[in-house]
Amino acid sequence: MITQYSIVCQVPGAEPYTFCAYSGEDLSEVLGITQANMPAGYYGWIQESGVCKVSGHTQSAYADFRPNAAKHHLEEVSKASQEQLIELPSGALGGKTLAHDMWERLSQLPPLLIEDGPYCRLIREARDVFVDGHYYSCVAMCGISFERFQRDKATPHGATREDRMDKVRSILRKNRVLLRKTLLLCKRMADLRNEYAHGDGLHPREDALKSLEWMRSFIDNETNLLRDYVVVKGILSRKRAAEGN
């Protein structure tokens, strides 16, 4: 991140939302981005998701650490329930059940720190509709985000908006733009998305989770910033430079 911002995590063993600058590559510990050089346990604002700048990198990054906050929230709710040792009558949660289910679904998603691009808003929407429990829409949006990424990568090599996706993938394969295993994921995602686009999907929740897992593999293959970076004291640094320190 540019020097005035810092990637932060929960201080181990401290009260919830007590932050310190993070180091490492395991994004499951990160809670967000805030001002740099803040004393441990203090913060002003915290950005859990959105576009951010990367020092020494021409392209911006897209971060989404909301799933980690959801996990912390659920842990605190569970801890509070155990401490109270109160058995609630059936149905007493009422309207809270829906919110709890949304927290649960959000906690199932992986955190993101990826290269920014137009496809990022589509990825965000695919994840959001899953959290809202709209599984058909999740499968469709995963397919759309895959398609947008492929078209963006194929355009410099002559692909046009009129080209069908099999031709786009052929262009990507011929020019070795994406890994072979990524192109296989893209084909599988396109086939699954077409099933749901025509109303033929039979297992929406399971297929939504499958689509999100494919998206995770797709991101790890092609656009995950931690392929080339590591977080050192809250700052995103190129791995080779960090190793030389």
Average pLDDT over residues 166-175: 96
Parent domain of 19: 5-244
pLDDT of residue 1: 46
The model's pLDDT over 43-86, given as tens digits with 9 standing for 90+, comes to: 668 889 998 877 666 778 899 999 998 998 888 887 777 666 55
Residue 94 has pLDDT above 60, yes or no: no
The rounded Cα 52 to chain-centroid distance in angstroms is 14
DSSP string, 73-100: HHHHHHHHHHHHT--PPTTTTTTHHHHH
pLDDT of residue 2: 47
pTM: 0.83
Instruction: Tell me the pLDDT band of 17, cut-offs 50, 70 and 90.
Output: confident
Task: List Cβ neighbours of 140 (8 Å cut-off, separation of 6 or more).
Answer: 193, 196, 197
How far is residue 43's CA from residue 17's CA, in Å, rounded to a whole number?
9
pLDDT of residue 85: 53
Instruction: Tell me the pLDDT band of 40, cut-offs 50, 70 and 90.
Output: low
Task: List Cβ neighbours of 170 (8 Å cut-off, separation of 6 or more).
Answer: none
pLDDT of residue 159: 93
How far is residue 87's CA from residue 234's CA, in Å, rounded to a whole number?
42
Average pLDDT over residues 36-40: 68
Average pLDDT over residues 161-167: 94
* Residue-level length of the chain: 245
The model's pLDDT over 178-209, given as tens digits with 9 standing for 90+, comes to: 999 999 999 999 999 999 988 888 999 999 99
When divided into structural domains, the chain yields a total of 1
The whole-chain average pLDDT of the chain stands at: 85
